[in-house]
């Protein structure tokens, strides 16, 4: 029965009622009844067509078209087919009025839809990160794609999916997916000029690098920013064999679900307490990480075996060469991937493949080149260094490779920010020489008695060593506790490399050596190399070396920097890998043993009034797992009884010198 028919029946019953009440029962008076009948009749007259059929349509239409006439961009979501039939979700952001525009492709595991909707706005500047918003304003189409198996894309996700081959039995990988995506974009985006570049930061920097393997003919430029390159040598998972245990948070979020929505859980506020367990494997079991295939692969491959070598992107590209112009972007204080970009540059700088390869070294933490670079922790700069890079290096580089008839601007082979003087420098190579012929050499900075540092070697009569006790039950932290989880709302993880190191230098299990106050500037450009002669009472040991700029006791213009110990370059070496990272060996207990540790890149001037400091320690927790200091076959499976105190000695005589080789360059 429709609404009109129902109303007729109701009226008939009301009119036939013996007691004159509306509907035959109740207490409604005749006047009220008449008003009700009138209202009901009016409702029927205005009832929508759907109501006449007995269905209530509600207030939400089946479809709604967002009014976008005032937007300065349009957005398309497409599913791009790969060669194996899997479709990858891709969001394409096109500036309004675009014509004959190049395309920049970012392939990400971090949700393309979220990356293209940073704000609900009709302005592309609010929708994309600053780097991409500025490029869109300069006439670039931006395409962001979910990698296979993540978020809106079909298929199976594999962390840092290796190239098709022994480690990947399928016919697809990031290089083939990039190729197929570029092919589709070149043929199906009418607003483009058919020239495409790949770009991305961190994991996305890794996928950008992988597009260089068997590149599509339409690929004309590649910009990997802070890329993951070698997870064992010095990027996310290990540093020289020491396991970056605190990255468990990332592994959990990234691989426990397709949408990365499962929250990392912890019963403790301080990660120091959360990670105090007997071994990484046992910790993983308590967190449920043992269910994750990638975590299990880490546990099964603690040494630099073929599993890691075959995935190292710098090795892959060195073997194949690069035929597409590439701009590698590195952050000098990158807390996650401080190894990657310079390693790829070293592998390619001599022109393997014939394409130009440029390097940028900026005063940034991981990903900061995409945002505001006016300050780095407590260090302030004269202007936004990130914007300077994007305007003066990134945009001219891309324009030259991707735009039709774009004006050419010279891009230096290496553009590096020099901290201390806080100036951008142009070099023809890194780190061998400068564009104006300033040859970079090296000077040994020796550990001396009395915790001094000197460019003069120890005297013949100077003997001895300095020692401390390393206790796994009380490891040296990498920052002042409480240590919050990496991605907690109040985490300051991204700037931990800028932390004042005074908290460590005052500990009895940290050796701190310092020069006298400098009377002349000391300029270093390149990688410092630590040469230690050391012994341990255990049979395995970690060695952490830090190169630090100690500020004057008073800094009137910025009082909080008085006496500040600013870390410039720090890293860790797991002793068992001292001779061969592929074949670990026990350390001879009590024997003075040479260790060599190459530290991350530096481009810095120690100013007069400052001092140079070296710190040495044997734990860096909970960033890195604790070394039990007893040699075991797989350190991830060490038993509680394996964790023992050890007496560590660092030698500093003429016969057994310990020193840091600084890449010293003359002042310009």
Which residue from 531, 105, 562, 255 is spatially nearest to 378, judged by alpha carbons? Answer: 562
pLDDT at res. 27: 47
CB 487 within 8 A of CB 248: no
**Which residues have CB under 8 Å from 231's CB, separation 6+?**
160, 237, 238, 308, 311
C-alpha to C-alpha distance for 121 and 428, rounded to whole angstroms: 43
Residue 393 is classified by DSSP as I
In this structure, the strands spanning 423-427 and 593-598 are unpaired
In this structure, the strands spanning 542-550 and 511-514 are unpaired
Could you read off the pLDDT of 80-127 as tens digits, one per residue?
999 999 999 999 999 999 999 999 999 999 999 999 999 989 999 999
Given a cut of 80, is residue 661 above it in pLDDT?
Answer: yes
Which residue from 142, 135, 151, 217 is spatially nearest to 182, judged by alpha carbons? Answer: 217
Q: Give the count of beta carbons closer than 10 Å to the beta carbon of residue 29.
A: 11
Share the mean pLDDT of the chain.
Answer: 92
Could you read off the pLDDT of 464-502 as tens digits, one per residue?
999 999 999 999 999 999 999 998 999 999 999 999 999
Q: Of 255-259, 275-279, 450-454, where does mean pLDDT reach its minimum?
A: 275-279
Could you read off the pLDDT of 376-428 as tens digits, one per residue?
999 999 999 999 999 999 999 999 999 988 888 889 999 999 999 999 999 99
Given a cut of 50, is residue 158 above it in pLDDT?
Answer: yes
Q: pLDDT confidence of 292, banded at 50, 70, 90?
A: very high
Given a cut of 50, is residue 44 above it in pLDDT?
Answer: no
Helical H segments across 49-173, by residue range: 49-52, 112-115, 124-127, 130-137
CB 629 within 8 A of CB 645: yes
pLDDT at res. 7: 47
């Amino acid at each position: 029965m429709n609404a009109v028919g129902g109303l007729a029946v109701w009226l008939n019953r009301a009119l036939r009622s013996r007691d004159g009440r509306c509907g035959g029962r109740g207490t409604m008076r005749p006047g009220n009844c008449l008003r009700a009948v009138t209202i009901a009749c009016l409702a029927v007259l205005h009832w929508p067509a759907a109501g006449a059929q007995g269905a209530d349509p509600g207030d939400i239409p089946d479809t709604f078209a967002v009014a976008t006439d005032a937007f300065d961009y349009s957005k398309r979501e497409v599913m791009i087919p790969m060669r194996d039939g899997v479709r990858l979700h891709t969001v394409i952001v096109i500036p309004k009025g675009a014509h004959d525009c190049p395309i920049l492709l970012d392939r990400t595991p971090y949700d393309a839809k979220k990356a293209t909707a940073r704000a609900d706005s009709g302005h592309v500047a609010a929708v994309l990160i600053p780097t991409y918003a500025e490029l869109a304003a300069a006439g670039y189409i931006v395409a962001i794609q979910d990698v296979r198996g993540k978020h809106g894309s079909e298929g199976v996700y594999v962390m840092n999916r290796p190239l098709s081959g022994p480690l990947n039995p399928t016919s697809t990988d990031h290089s083939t997916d990039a190729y197929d995506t570029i092919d589709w974009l070149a043929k199906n985006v009418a607003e483009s000029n058919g020239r495409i570049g790949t770009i991305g930061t961190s994991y996305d920097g890794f996928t950008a690098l992988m597009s260089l393997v068997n590149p599509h003919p339409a690929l004309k430029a590649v910009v990997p920013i802070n890329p993951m390159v070698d997870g064992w040598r010095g990027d996310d998972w290990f540093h020289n064999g020491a396991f970056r245990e605190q990255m468990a948070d990332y592994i959990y979020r990234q691989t426990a679900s397709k949408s990365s929505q499962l929250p990392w859980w912890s019963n403790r506020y301080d990660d120091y307490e959360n990670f105090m367990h007997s071994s990484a494997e046992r910790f993983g079991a308590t967190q449920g990480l043992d269910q994750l295939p990638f975590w299990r692969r880490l546990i099964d491959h603690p040494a630099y075996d073929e599993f890691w070598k075959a995935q190292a992107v710098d090795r892959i590209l060195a073997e194949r060469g690069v035929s597409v112009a590439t701009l590698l972007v590195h952050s000098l204080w990158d807390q996650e991937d401080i190894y990657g970009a310079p390693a790829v540059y070293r592998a390619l700088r001599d022109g393997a493949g014939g394409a130009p390869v440029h390097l940028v070294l900026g005063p940034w933490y991981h990903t900061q080149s995409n945002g505001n670079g006016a300050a780095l922790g407590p260090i302030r700069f004269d202007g936004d260094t990130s914007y300077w890079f994007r305007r003066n290096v990134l945009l001219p580089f891309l324009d030259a490779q991707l735009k039709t008839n774009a004006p050419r601007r010279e891009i230096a082979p290496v553009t590096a920010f020099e901290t201390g003087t806080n100036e951008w420098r142009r070099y023809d190579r890194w780190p061998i020489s400068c564009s104006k012929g300033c040859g970079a050499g090296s000077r040994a900075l020796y550990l001396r008695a009395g915790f001094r540092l000197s460019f003069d070697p120890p005297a013949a009569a100077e003997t001895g060593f300095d020692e401390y006790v390393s206790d796994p039950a009380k490891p040296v932290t990498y920052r002042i506790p409480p240590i919050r989880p990496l991605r907690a709302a109040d985490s300051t993880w991204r700037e931990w490399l800028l932390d004042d190191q005074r908290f460590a230098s005052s500990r009895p299990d940290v050796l701190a050596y310092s020069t006298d106050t400098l009377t002349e500037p000391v300029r270093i450009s390149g990688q410092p190399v630590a040469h230690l002669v050391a012994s341990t009472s255990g049979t395995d040991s970690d060695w952490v070396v830090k190169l630090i700029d100690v500020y004057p006791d008073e800094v009137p213009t910025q009082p909080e920097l008085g006496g500040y110990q600013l870390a410039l370059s720090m890293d860790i070496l797991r002793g068992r890998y001292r001779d061969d990272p592929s074949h670990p060996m026990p350390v001879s207990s009590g024997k003075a043993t040479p260790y060599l540790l190459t530290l991350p890149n530096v481009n810095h001037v120690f100013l007069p009034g400052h001092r140079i400091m070296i710190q040495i320690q044997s734990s860096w927790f909970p960033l890195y797992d604790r070394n039990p200091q007893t040699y075991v076959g797989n350190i991830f499976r060490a038993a509680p009884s394996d964790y023992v105190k050890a007496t560590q000695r660092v030698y500093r005589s003429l016969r057994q010198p310990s020193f840091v080789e600084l890449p010293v360059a003359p002042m310009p």
